[in-house]
C-alpha cells in the first residue's frame, strides 16, 4: 500500500534555508522511499495573495522549481507541478468554501495577525486585508484534498493549515455522507520544525531575515551567515548553544557527532566570528554541489517548463476524476443522466438487486480477456489481453479487493483507463463526450465499491 505525501512552497521569493530543511529536504527524502507516492508543487496561486509584483512571481516560480530539482527531486518518480496548471484545485476550493465555517477562517493565524496589527495601529480591523488572505486555508485544503494526500511534510508554521484542511474535509464528508476525502496528517521534522533567521525569529520572507539557499552564491552565503545576530560575549567567554541561532542552524545540517563538537566549542568559548565561519563551512559542504546543479538548471527555463507541464498532466489525471466524483456527489450532474436514471430504476434499488459481474472470454487471437458489466448490464470495462487465464483471473480478484478510492482511473478525452501497479489493465468503451465519460466514471466507481462489498459478504 502506497502513502501519498504532498507539499508545496509559495512562489514569492528566493528559497531559503528554512524552506530547504523544513520542507524540501524531508519531502525529497520521503519521495525516495518505495512505498511513497509523492506530490510536490509550486503554490503560485497562494503567491498572488502575498505579492502583486508579476516579475517577482515569475522569477520565484523558476527559482523554486530549479531548487526542488537541484535538491534531488526526480520528476519521473514524483508528480511535480504548478498549482496554477491544475484548474481542478480552484474548482475544489469553491466546493470547500461552501462548507467552510467563516468562524474557522476567523481563527487563522495569518488573518488574526493582520487584524491585530490594524487594531493596534487604530485602523479598521480589516483595513487592506484581501479576501485572498482570508481564504488562504481553503485554497491550501484544496491543494491537499484534491489528491487525497495522507501526509504533508511542512515546517511548524503550517500546522494550523493542515488542521484546518482536516476540519474542512471532515465537514464535507459529513455533509455529503461519504468519505470522499482522506484526512491528511502533518509531518514535522522536530529537529528543524522552525529554523531561526538572522534575528533569531523564525526565518521568513515576511521578516526579511532569511539566509538564501543559492542566490548570490557562496559569497552571499558567507556574508549572510556573518550577519546572524549574537550576544556580546567576547572570545573565551562560554556561549549558550541552546539560545543561539547559530547552533540551531548548524544542527539542522550536521550529524549528531558534529553537533556535539560544535556545542562543546561554543560552551568552551569559541569567538562568534570563528563560530560563524565553522557554520558557513558546514552549510557550504551540503549546498555547493546542489548550487552547481541549480545554476545549470536555471539557465534552461524551457526544460523546467516542459517538466512542469508533464507533471501537471499527471496531477490532473488524479484530480480530474476526483472532481468528477465530487461534482456528482454535490448535484452538479449532467442533465442527460437525470433522464437515464429516471428511465431505469433508482440507484439504491439497482444496487440492492444485482451486483456488477465479470464475464471472461477467449479472444480471436487465443488470448484471455474479461469484461466488467454494471448491475444494469452495461459494459463498464474491457480488459487487456492475457496469455494465461490465471493472470486474467488474478486481475479480477484484485479488482474485487480494490474499491473505488484506491483505484487509479486515468481520464482520456472520451474514455477511461484502469491501472494496476502503474500498468493499464482495462479500458472503458468510448463515450460521446467528457460529460458522458464523467458519468461513466461515477458508475464505474460505484461498481468497484460494490464488488468489494460483494466479496466481503461472500
Ligand atoms: P512557505 O512557502 O511559507 O514555506 C514552504 C515550506 O517551508 C517551511 N518553512 C520553514 N520550515 C522551518 N523553518 C522555517 N524558518 C521555515 N520557513 C518556511 C514551511 O513550513 C513550508 O513547509 N502555505 C504554504 C505553501 C502551501 C502548502 C500547501 C504546503 C500551499 N499549499 C499544501 C503544504 C501543503 C507556505 O506558504 O509555505
Is 74 a domain residue?
yes
Domain co-membership, 343 together with 368: yes
Q: Is 18 in the pocket of ligand 1 (CB under 6 A)?
A: yes
Closest to 451 (Cα-Cα) out of 394, 390, 402, 392: 402
Q: How far apart, in whole angstroms, are the C-alpha atoms of residue 173 and residue 405?
A: 14
With a 6 Å cutoff on the Cβ, whether 19 touches ligand 1 is yes
What would the pLDDT profile of 243-288 be if each residue is shown by its tens digit?
A: 999 999 999 999 999 999 999 999 999 999 999 999 999 999 999 9
Residue 120: burial class (beta carbons within 10 Å; 0-12, 13-18, 19+): exposed
Count the domains in the chain.
3
Q: How far is the CA of 453 from the centre of ligand 1 (A)?
A: 40
Residue 156 and residue 188 in one domain? yes
> The CATH number of the domain where 383 resides is what?
2.30.29.80
10 lines ligand 1 (CB under 6 A): yes
> Is 172 found in the same domain as 226?
no
In a domain, 327, yes or no: no
Report CA-CA distances (Å) from 454 to 146, 349, 405, 428, 447: 28, 15, 16, 22, 10
* Arithmetic mean of pLDDT, 75-80: 96
Say which CATH number the domain at 227 has: 1.10.240.10
End-to-end CA distance of the chain: 24
Q: What are phi and psi of 427, to 5 degrees?
A: -130, 160
Q: Are residues 79 and 226 in the same domain?
A: no
- Cα 246 to Cα 17: distance, rounded to the nearest angstrom: 13
> Are 96 and 146 a contacting pair, CB within 8 Å?
no
Atom of ligand 1 nearest to the CA of 154: 22
- Please tell me whether residues 105 and 84 are part of one structural domain: yes
How much is the CA Rg of the chain, to the nearest whole Å?
A: 26
175 in the same domain as 99:
yes
In terms of domains, do 292 and 304 share one? no
Share of the chain above pLDDT 90, in %: 77
Residue 437 Cβ inside 6 Å of ligand 1? The answer reads: no
What does the pLDDT read at residue 340? 53
Between residues 455 and 50, the one the model is more confident about: 50
Q: For strands 423-427 and 416-420, give the pairing.
A: antiparallel
pLDDT tens digits, residue range 161-210? 999 999 999 999 999 999 999 999 999 877 666 899 999 999 998 899 99
- Specify which residues 152 forms β-bridges with: 186
Q: Rounded to an integer, what distance in angstroms lies between the CA atom of residue 18 and that of residue 279?
A: 15
CB atoms within 10 A of CB 108: 20
| Same domain for 12 and 118 | yes
Residue of 443, 449, 451 whose CA lies nearest to 380: 443
32-48 burial code (b ≥16 CB/10 A, e <16): eeeebbbbbbbbbbbbb
Regarding the beta carbon of 144 and ligand 1, being less than 6 Å apart is answered: yes
> 279 and 372 share a domain?
no
Q: pLDDT at position 256, please?
A: 95
Residue 453: the pLDDT is 84
- Residue identifier of the C-alpha nearest atom 37 of ligand 1: 9
Q: Is the CB of 7 under 6 A from ligand 1?
A: yes
Query: For cell 480471436, what's the residue?
Result: 364
What CATH number should be reported for the domain holding residue 147?
A: 3.40.50.620
* Predicted confidence (pLDDT) at residue 228 exceeds the cutoff of 60: yes
Residue 243 lies in a domain: yes
Ligand 1: nearest atom to the Cα of 46: 30
- 396-450 pLDDT, tens digit per residue, is 999 998 888 778 888 888 899 999 988 899 999 988 888 888 888 888 888 888 8
Let me know how long the chain is: 458
Cα 105 from Cα 33, distance rounded (Å): 35
Backbone φ, ψ for residue 240 (5° rounding): -95, 105
Q: Tell me, what's the pLDDT at 458? A: 72
Could you tell me the maximum CA-CA distance found in the chain, to the nearest angstrom? 89
Candidates 83, 158, 228: which one to mutate for ligand 1, based on the most atoms within 8 Å of Cβ?
158
Q: Give yes or no for residue 158 having a pLDDT over 60.
A: yes
Q: Is the pLDDT of residue 291 over 60?
A: yes
Do residues 146 and 323 lie in contact, with contact meaning Cβ atoms separated by under 8 Å?
yes
pLDDT for the residue 339:
54
- The mean of the pLDDT values for the chain is 92
Same domain, 96 and 188: yes
Strands (E), 44-137: 79-82
Confidence class for position 388, pLDDT limits 50, 70, 90:
very high
- Is residue 317, in this structure, part of any structural domain at all? no
The reported pLDDT for the residue numbered 186 is: 95
Does residue 154 have its Cβ closer than 6 Å to ligand 1? yes
- The number of the ligand 1 atom at minimal distance from the alpha carbon of 11 is 2
Q: What average pLDDT score do residues 299-326 get? A: 96
Q: 194 CB under 6 A from ligand 1?
A: yes
Q: What pLDDT was estimated at residue 440?
A: 85
> Which DSSP state fits 345?
-
Residues of the chain with pLDDT > 70: what percent?
95
14 is in an annotated binding site: no
CA angle 424, 320, 40 (to 5 degrees): 85
Whether residue 11 is annotated as binding a ligand: the answer is yes
Q: From the CA of 140, give the closest atom in ligand 1.
A: 31
Answer yes or no: is the C-beta of 239 below 6 A from any ligand 1 atom. no
* pLDDT at 16 > cutoff 80: yes
Per-residue confidence (pLDDT) for residue 350, from 0 to 100: 39
The verdict on 382 and 247 lying in the same domain is no
Cα–Cα dist 144/7, whole Å: 8
The answer to whether the annotation marks 320 as part of a ligand binding site is no
Does residue 319 sit within a domain? no
Q: What is the pTM of this model?
A: 0.75
208 in any annotated domain: no
Q: Cell numbers 549558550 label which residue?
A: 240
Whether 221 is covered by a domain: the verdict is yes
Can you give the residue range of the structural domain that contains 92? 3-192+300-309
The pLDDT tens digits for 321-374 are: 999 999 999 999 888 766 554 454 444 433 445 678 999 988 888 899 999 988
Residue 17 lies in a domain: yes
If you measure from the C-alpha of residue 154 to the centroid of ligand 1, how many angstroms do you get, rounded to a whole number?
6
Q: Are residues 260 and 355 in the same domain?
A: no
Q: Whose CA is nearest to atom 26 of ligand 1?
A: 8
Amino acid at each position: 500500500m502506497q502513502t501519498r505525501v504532498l507539499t508545496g512552497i509559495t512562489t514569492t521569493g528566493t528559497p531559503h534555508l528554512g524552506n530547504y530543511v523544513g520542507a524540501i529536504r524531508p519531502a525529497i527524502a520521503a519521495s525516495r522511499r518505495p512505498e511513497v507516492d509523492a506530490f510536490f508543487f509550486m503554490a503560485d496561486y497562494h503567491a498572488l495573495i502575498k505579492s502583486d509584483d508579476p516579475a517577482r512571481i515569475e522569477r520565484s516560480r523558476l527559482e523554486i522549481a530549479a531548487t526542488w530539482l537541484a535538491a534531488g527531486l526526480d520528476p519521473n518518480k514524483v508528480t511535480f507541478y504548478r498549482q496554477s496548471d491544475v484548474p481542478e484545485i480552484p474548482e475544489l476550493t469553491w466546493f470547500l468554501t461552501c462548507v467552510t465555517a467563516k468562524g474557522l477562517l476567523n481563527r487563522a493565524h495569518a488573518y488574526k495577525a493582520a487584524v491585530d496589527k490594524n487594531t493596534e495601529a487604530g485602523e479598521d480591523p480589516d483595513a487592506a486585508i484581501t479576501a485572498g488572505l482570508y481564504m488562504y486555508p481553503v485554497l491550501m485544503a484544496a491543494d491537499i484534498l484534491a489528491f487525497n494526500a495522507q501526509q504533508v511534510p511542512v515546517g511548524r508554521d503550517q500546522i494550523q493549515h493542515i488542521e484546518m484542511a482536516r476540519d474542512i474535509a471532515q465537514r464535507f464528508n459529513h455533509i455529503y455522507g461519504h468519505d470522499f476525502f482522506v484526512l491528511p496528517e502533518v509531518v514535522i521534522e522536530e529537529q528543524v520544525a522552525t529554523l531561526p533567521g538572522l534575528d533569531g525569529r523564525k526565518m521568513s520572507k515576511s521578516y526579511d531575515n532569511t539566509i538564501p539557499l543559492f542566490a548570490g552564491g557562496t559569497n552571499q552565503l558567507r556574508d549572510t551567515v556573518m550577519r546572524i545576530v549574537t550576544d556580546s560575549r567576547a572570545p573565551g567567554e562560554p556561549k549558550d548553544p541552546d539560545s543561539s541561532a547559530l547552533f540551531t542552524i548548524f544542527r539542522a545540517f550536521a550529524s549528531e557527532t558534529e553537533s556535539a563538537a560544535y556545542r562543546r566549542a561554543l560552551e568552551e568559548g569559541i569567538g562568534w566570528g570563528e563560530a560563524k565561519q565553522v557554520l558557513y563551512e558546514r552549510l557550504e559542504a551540503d549546498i555547493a554541489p546542489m548550487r552547481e546543479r541549480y545554476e545549470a538548471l536555471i539557465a534552461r527555463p524551457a526544460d523546467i517548463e516542459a517538466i512542469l507541464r508533464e507533471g501537471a498532466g499527471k496531477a490532473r489525471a488524479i484530480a480530474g476524476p476526483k472532481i468528477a466524483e465530487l461534482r456528482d456527489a454535490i448535484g452538479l450532474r449532467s442533465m442527460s443522466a437525470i433522464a437515464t436514471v429516471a428511465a431505469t430504476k433508482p440507484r439504491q434499488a439497482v444496487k440492492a438487486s444485482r451486483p456488477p459481474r465479470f464475464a471472461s472470454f477467449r479472444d480471436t487471437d487465443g488470448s484471455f480477456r474479461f469484461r466488467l458489466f454494471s448491475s444494469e448490464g452495461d459494459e463498464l470495462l474491457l480488459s487487456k489481453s492475457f496469455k494465461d487465464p490465471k493472470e486474467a483471473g488474478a486481475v479480477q480478484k484484485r479488482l474485487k479487493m480494490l474499491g473505488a478510492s484506491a483505484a487509479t482511473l486515468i481520464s482520456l478525452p472520451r474514455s477511461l483507463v484502469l491501472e494496476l501497479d502503474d500498468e493499464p489493465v482495462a479500458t472503458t468503451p468510448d463515450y460521446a463526450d467528457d460529460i458522458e465519460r464523467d458519468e461513466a466514471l461515477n458508475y464505474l466507481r460505484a461498481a468497484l465499491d460494490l464488488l468489494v462489498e460483494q466479496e466481503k459478504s461472500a
